[in-house]
Amino acid sequence: MTSIAIIGAGISGLRAAQTLQSQANVTVFEKSRGVSGRMSTRYNDDYEFDHGAQYFTAKTQEFSTFLQPYIDDDIVAPWTPKGLPEDTRHKYVATPRMNSLCKAMAKGINVMTGTRVERAEYASGAWDLSDDSGLSLGQFDGLIVTAPAQQAQVILGEEIKPSLEGINHIANFTLMVGLSEMWSENWEALRPQNDIIGWAAVNSSKPGRNIDFTTLVVQSQNEWAETHKDADREWVQAQMISAFKSLTGIDISDAQIASLHRWLYANVETPLGRDIFSDEKRRLIVAGDGCLGGRIESAWQSGDAAGQKAALWLIS
């Protein structure tokens, strides 16, 4: 059976794996401890935070059709947060956590978590993968890379650079705040016009979350984060807390939990402009949200296209 390695267990890599699973010998390599990538959930005592993607929308029929069984199984549910304009309020989230969708997608797929692919080299008709201690991860007939372009270039080497040129992922800071009291404000999500804060949400207002505690997720503007990505973290956190207070009147400086996460490759400033990059000769595909845009649906579309393209390798 044809063997295919997929690097990355975010939604794009898992979608590619789902489409190939019954026809090929698929192995997904994921550097983190769990699946989900930027749809992950962070745990801190009893508090849980969707600290990456906040929600998703389904604009295409294909993605809606894909979501339906997960909606039927209560793994995906609508979320219409108070505070956003009526015409932008209708969103979906995974339940009970954002990582629940990728966890469900990963069922039955061979995912090697905690395994960072350091290098992928093509020689004599096969891809040779090795990890960060130089150990071989095996040989594969085909390779799909779904890591953000800057990371994909490290794995694939300099020669891939011109093909991925133009894709640019930029940073984001996410502040996770846990409050012991119940939420009593009249908003559940805000998308302010502000130099520092780009988004704030009451995570605990999403369906299926624990409402005994209040969890807030405050995300920076991407451009601000890109400018300050190497700044002192305490300074970044203080700036965000102060901007949040100016916006909402709420002082979170003495919250039970306040912790900051930096996403180096959060969102896509400029995408490739097509659903995948593929190199037929070497049976290589680069997919992920860098191809069509920094949204969950776009990442899924790219992963779906990658799976369909790789399926053609199996019959040629």
Ligand X SMILES: Cc1cc2nc3c(=O)[nH]c(=O)nc-3n(C[C@H](O)[C@H](O)[C@H](O)COP(=O)(O)OP(=O)(O)OC[C@H]3O[C@@H](n4cnc5c(N)ncnc54)[C@H](O)[C@@H]3O)c2cc1C
The site string for ligand X over 100-119 (x = CB under 6 A, - otherwise) reads ----------------xx--
Rounded CA-CA distance 191/262 in Å is 19
Using the contact rule CB under 6 A, the part of the chain among 18-26, 185-193, 262-270, 274-282 near ligand X is: 262-270
Beta carbon nearer to ligand X, 12 or 203 = 12
For residue 7, state whether it binds ligand X (rule: CB under 6 A): yes
For residue 172, state whether it binds ligand X (rule: CB under 6 A): yes
Using the contact rule CB under 6 A, the part of the chain among 18-26, 81-89, 233-241, 295-303 near ligand X is: 295-303
For residue 95, state whether it binds ligand X (rule: CB under 6 A): no
Beta carbon nearer to ligand X, 17 or 241 = 17
Distance in angstroms between the alpha carbons of the first and the last residue of the chain: 13
Rounded CA-CA distance 132/68 in Å is 39
Give CA angle at 309 (36, 54), nearest 5°: 25
Beta carbon nearer to ligand X, 158 or 281 = 158
For residue 30, state whether it binds ligand X (rule: CB under 6 A): yes
Beta carbon nearer to ligand X, 85 or 249 = 85
Going by C-beta distance under 8 Å and a sequence separation of 6 or more, which residues neighbour residue 293?
A: 268, 271
For residue 55, state whether it binds ligand X (rule: CB under 6 A): yes
Which of 27, 267, 278, 301 lies at the binding interface for ligand X (CB under 6 A)? 267
Residues in 225-254 at the binding interface with ligand X, rule: CB under 6 A: none
For residue 53, state whether it binds ligand X (rule: CB under 6 A): yes
Q: Are 47 and 27 in contact (CB under 8 A)?
A: no
Rounded CA-CA distance 277/196 in Å is 34
For residue 299, state whether it binds ligand X (rule: CB under 6 A): yes
For residue 41, state whether it binds ligand X (rule: CB under 6 A): no
Is the alpha carbon torsion for 130, 132, 133, 137 positive or negative? negative
For residue 275, how many other CB atoms are within 10 A of its CB?
A: 18
Beta-strand relationship, 111-112 and 25-29? parallel
Beta carbon nearer to ligand X, 8 or 142 = 8
For residue 197, state whether it binds ligand X (rule: CB under 6 A): no
| SS3 call for 306 | helix
Alpha carbon 45 to its chain centroid, in Å, reads 23
Q: Are 191 and 162 in contact (CB under 8 A)?
A: no
Which residues sit at the interface with ligand X, rule CB under 6 A? Answer: 7-13, 29-32, 37-39, 52-56, 116-117, 146-148, 151, 155, 172, 174, 219, 263, 266-267, 288-289, 294-296, 299
